[in-house]
Each structure stands twice: as C-alpha cells, then as structure tokens.
Amino acid sequence: MQAQLNQHRKESHAALHSACAQGMPNERALAGWMETLGMTDRINQGGN
C-alpha cells in the first residue's frame, strides 16, 4: 500500500487508518501506531 498523509485533514487520517487496519501485518502496525499517537481519538472527536 502506498499512501500520503495530509496532517491537516482528519478525513485523510480516517481513510488511512481504515485502510491500514484491514491490511497486511505491517499496515496494521501503522494503524496501531496511529492509535498510540491519539490520531484515532482526533478522528472520532472531529478535531485536528
């Protein structure tokens, strides 16, 4: 998977997290890292 992350758009975070969470082990690891950083909290709360 190849993806770009636009740090200013929560929609970009949500799309990347969703794709990674369903992917290969290394992609799932990236989704976990996004969760650790709290990026999914911002996705769920609608913040930046």
At 16 the pLDDT is 85
Return the HEC string of 1-48. Answer: CCCCCCCCCHHHHHHHHHHHHCCCHHHHHHHHHHHHCCHHHHHHHCCC
pTM of model > 0.85: no
At 46 the pLDDT is 53
- The tens digit of pLDDT for each residue in 4-44 reads 655 667 777 888 889 999 999 999 999 999 899 888 765 55
